[in-house]
């Protein structure tokens, strides 16, 4: 299977976003449009959630081949709040365990008039592979692809930073932890660089640093204190044991001693720094509870923003497909 991330595949012939497979190749204007639309949908806990009917009559299928809480639930809520019917397919009880191919599963659901597939999988390239084979009126959204990409997480992270800190051009953002296995680091980092962040720092042990060609323009640091010194934003990432071989697995206690984000370590960042984490958290490993739950933390705000970002993405791609269908109908007359 190809490992193409789909930066070209995700557009239709007119250049409109038909799928969301990666943030690679999206312009600053396109990212800003999605962020602005997401901000329109944002509501704080206690308020009535934003709703409209932009997906009325459409069906969204959530296909998660890897575990998920935040992403799967927020996509379901996003689709329902836009008026869509939603199918959550439990892949462990689907015909895939009987040997059915992913494409046969997709074609079966497509025959049931599914319009959007939201996909998470451990296999690199699968969202782009599916996007290359679905019908012209169907869209695919990448909800987490191996270590490669997690575009909606990247968007919600940047939205959170923008809400709390304003102009990205004046900010220093440090991403700390297991970067080599992190799709979040790649997507959030790419969005920040495209939007002109003042400084992006990658902070991790050498063994967990991405390849040199990835996220060009970011500085690299092999000391936690050095990496977060004076930072405006500090994002902690968990160790992704599920993507490591047995011989590469790290000792959690040793990792915490050198790389755990504690209140003491956080003193090296700016006094008003915000702390982020995409979840799930391993408390006492990459982050302590007093930091995760403390006054600098915006982790729950990230979760809230996740629903709004996914509403923005779904409404945008469905609108673009509708525009394409209208144009195709005019040409056929």
293-to-43, 261, 263, 274, 277 alpha-carbon distances in Å: 21, 12, 11, 12, 11
Structure tokens at 281: 């958290």
* Cα distance from N-terminal residue to C-terminal residue, the chain: 39
- Residues 200 and 220 occupy one common structural domain: yes
Q: What is the pLDDT of residue 246?
A: 67
Q: Is 271 within a domain? A: yes
- Residues 134 and 76 occupy one common structural domain: yes
Written as tens digits, the pLDDT of the chain (333 aa) is: 544 558 889 999 999 999 999 999 999 999 999 999 999 999 999 999 999 999 999 999 999 988 899 999 999 999 999 999 999 997 776 666 668 899 999 999 999 999 999 999 999 999 999 999 999 999 999 999 999 999 999 999 999 999 999 999 999 999 999 999 999 999 999 999 999 999 999 999 999 999 999 999 999 999 999 999 999 999 999 998 787 766 677 788 999 999 999 999 999 999 999 999 999 999 999 999 999 999 999 999 999 999 999 999 999 999 999 998 888 776 665
209 vs 234: CA distance, rounded Å: 16
- Residues 184 and 116 occupy one common structural domain: no
**Element (DSSP H or E) covering residue 233:** strand 233-236
Q: What is the pLDDT of residue 3?
A: 45
- Residues 292 and 204 occupy one common structural domain: yes
Question: The domain that contains 259 carries what CATH number?
Answer: 3.40.50.1370
Kindly write down the DSSP assignment for every residue of 11-33, as one continuous string.
B-TTS-B--B--STT--HHHHHH
pLDDT digit string, tens, across residues 146-204: 999 999 999 999 999 999 999 999 999 999 999 999 999 999 999 999 999 999 999 99
108 vs 138: CA distance, rounded Å: 13
Instruction: Give the count of domains, the chain.
Output: 2
Q: What is the pLDDT of residue 40?
A: 98
- Under 8 Å CB-to-CB from 109, ≥6 apart: which residues? 61, 87, 89, 117
Based on C-alpha coordinates, what's the Rg of the chain? 20
Q: What is the pLDDT of residue 66?
A: 87
- Under 8 Å CB-to-CB from 67, ≥6 apart: which residues? none
- Residues 165 and 278 occupy one common structural domain: yes
Q: Rounded to two decimals, what is the model's pTM? A: 0.95
The size of the chain, in residues, is 333
- Residues 265 and 314 occupy one common structural domain: no
Structure tokens at 72: 């799967």
What angle do helix axes 28-41 and 183-194 make, rounded to 10 degrees?
Answer: 110
Q: Which candidate, 149, 159, 157, 156, places its Cα nearest to that of 122?
A: 149
Domain containing residue 162: 152-298
């Amino acid at each position: 299977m190809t490992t193409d991330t789909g930066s070209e595949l995700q557009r239709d012939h007119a250049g409109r976003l038909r799928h969301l497979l990666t943030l690679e190749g999206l312009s600053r204007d396109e990212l800003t449009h999605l962020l602005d639309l997401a901000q329109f949908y944002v509501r704080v806990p206690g308020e009535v959630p934003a709703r409209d009917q932009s997906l009325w009559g459409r069906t969204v299928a959530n296909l998660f081949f890897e575990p998920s809480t935040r992403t799967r639930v927020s996509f379901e809520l996003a689709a329902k709040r836009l008026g869509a019917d939603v199918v959550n397919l439990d892949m462990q009880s689907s015909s895939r365990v009987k040997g059915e191919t992913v494409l046969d599963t997709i074609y079966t659901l497509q025959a049931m008039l599914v319009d959007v597939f939201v996909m998470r999988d451990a296999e690199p390239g699968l969202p782009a592979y599916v996007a290359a084979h679905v019908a012209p009126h169907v869209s695919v959204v990448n909800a987490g692809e191996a270590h490669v990409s997690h575009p909606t997480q990247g968007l919600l992270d940047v939205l959170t930073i923008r809400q709390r800190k304003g102009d990205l051009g004046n900010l220093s953002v440090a991403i700390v932890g297991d970067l080599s296995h992190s799709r979040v680091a790649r997507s959030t980092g790419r969005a920040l660089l495209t939007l002109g962040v003042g400084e992006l720092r990658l902070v991790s042990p050498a063994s967990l640093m991405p390849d040199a060609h990835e996220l060009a323009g970011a500085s690299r640091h092999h000391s936690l204190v050095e990496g977060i010194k004076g930072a405006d934003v500090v994002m902690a990432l968990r160790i992704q044991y599920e993507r490591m071989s047995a011989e590469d697995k790290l000792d959690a206690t040793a990792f915490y001693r050198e790389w755990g984000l504690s209140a003491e370590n956080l003193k090296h960042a700016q006094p008003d720094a915000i702390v982020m984490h995409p979840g799930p958290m391993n408390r006492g490993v990459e982050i302590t509870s007093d930091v995760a739950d403390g006054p600098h933390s915006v982790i729950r705000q990230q979760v809230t923003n996740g629903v709004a970002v996914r509403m923005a993405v779904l409404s945008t791609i469905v609108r673009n497909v509708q525009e394409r269908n209208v144009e195709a109908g005019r040409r056929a007359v």
